Amino acid sequence: MGTMDLEPYRGELVGYCYRMLGSFHDAEDLAQETMLRAWNARDRYDPARASERTWLYRIATNACLTALTGRARRPLPSGLGAPSQDPAAPLTPAFDIPWLQPFPDARFDVAARADLRLALVAAMQLLPPRQRAVLVLREVLDFSAAEVAGQLSTTVTAVNSALQRARAAVADARAEGEIAEPADPDVRAVIEQYVAAFEAADVTGLVRLLTHDVVLEMPPVPLWYLGTHDYGLFMRRVFEMRGTGWRIRQLTANGQPALAAYAPEPDGGHRRHTLQVFTVANGRVVHNVVFADPAVLELFGLPERIPRG
């Protein structure tokens, strides 16, 4: 193991720690800590007992479970209560809540992007940490029940039982309809139309692209809205407050289509405002999670301003 190169595992490890913790910042730190611990313990690694990947994930799992001890789960606003009935409600951020963060795809070549979907990661935050670990290790990373039992110092029976409970708990998040990939031509077409309508401040055009029970939420504001009527009223309010003539950049987050929205400034330039992560199914927008926390926007390496012209 002395000559072992751990670097190829980094992206996959960050993805694992992110699913466990719901925070990209924390995931990067814990992946680094895992690699450091593994390097320092390399002389104790016994290839006869486990593959180096199995061994590495045992270290990562312990690091994640320790980090999660006594820590509040990371929700989205829709996980905290009923939707708001008031599209004019004050947009007061709640920075005391440890919100779920999005995952910046472009920074890592992470396999199994489908399992990084925001709705699924949010549902996983409700699981006890060990069930969360079993679900990801078995279903995303394809470890055997015996390997996971070794990683968690438990039995195969306990692993299988935890996996069943975890699967049942996240079943609703997985049944969101047929979620297509960002590169799918139908998804691209919907997003292109959304961008055109947004840049034209065409609220009617935006609403035409939504399912009737669309969800709009915007952490760190703890409000969320349900349905096209309130979505439309809220968007009208945004254009009244911040003006028209926005600029949009397309990217992906959590293996989903995403937009960086830049609000107009008096000098004719544009300032970074929000990152919006979309769920698109059957040619319609089902869900839009709008992230406004500057610390989250920094993760995506987006320029703060687009100069005039």
Q: What is the pLDDT of residue 111?
A: 59
Q: Containing H/E element for 166?
A: helix 156-174
Please tell me whether residues 156 and 11 are part of one structural domain: yes
Range of the domain at 53: 7-71+118-174
pLDDT exceeds 80 at position 214: yes
Please tell me whether residues 138 and 191 are part of one structural domain: no
Count of domains for the chain: 2
Residue pLDDT, tens place only, 121-152: 999 999 999 999 999 999 989 999 999 999 99
Band (2; pLDDT cuts 50, 70, 90): very low
d(CA 194, CA 207): 9
Sign of torsion over alpha carbons 77, 14, 285, 275: positive
Please tell me whether residues 215 and 290 are part of one structural domain: yes
> What's the CATH code of the domain at 295?
3.10.450.50
Please tell me whether residues 225 and 282 are part of one structural domain: yes
Overall average pLDDT of the 49-60 stretch: 94
Q: From 116, 125, 117, 78, select the one nearest 279 (Cα to Cα).
A: 117
pLDDT exceeds 60 at position 112: no
Please tell me whether residues 31 and 157 are part of one structural domain: yes
- Which pTM value belongs to this model? 0.93
Please tell me whether residues 249 and 206 are part of one structural domain: yes
Band (109; pLDDT cuts 50, 70, 90): confident
Q: What is the pLDDT of residue 182?
A: 86
d(CA 87, CA 203): 14
Residue pLDDT, tens place only, 229-255: 999 999 999 999 999 999 999 999 999
What are the Cα distances from residue 45, in Å, to 214, 268, 278?
50, 60, 43
Please tell me whether residues 63 and 44 are part of one structural domain: yes
DSSP assignment of 59-127, as one string? HHHHHHHHHHTTPPP---GGGSSPPPS-TT------TTS-PPPP-BGGG---S-GGGG-HHHHHHHTTS
Please tell me whether residues 201 and 283 are part of one structural domain: yes
Between 101-110, 192-201, 277-286, the lowest mean confidence (pLDDT) is in: 101-110
Q: What is the pLDDT of residue 178?
A: 59
Length, in residues, of the chain: 309
Q: What is the pLDDT of residue 113?
A: 59
What are the Cα distances from residue 44, in Å, to 3, 48, 51, 64, 169?
14, 12, 13, 21, 37
Q: What is the pLDDT of residue 1?
A: 44
- Burial status of residue 192 (CB atoms within 10 A of its CB: 0-12, 13-18, 19 or more): exposed
DSSP assignment of 13-43, as one string? HHHHHHHHHS-HHHHHHHHHHHHHHHHHTGG
Please tell me whether residues 26 and 156 are part of one structural domain: yes
Which phi and psi (to 5°) does residue 236 adopt? -60, -45
Please tell me whether residues 169 and 220 are part of one structural domain: no
Please tell me whether residues 30 and 160 are part of one structural domain: yes
pLDDT exceeds 70 at position 6: yes
Share of the chain above pLDDT 70, in %: 96
Residue pLDDT, tens place only, 161-211: 999 999 999 988 776 655 678 889 999 999 999 999 999 999 999 999 999
Q: From 269, 225, 224, select the one nearest 99 (Cα to Cα).
A: 224
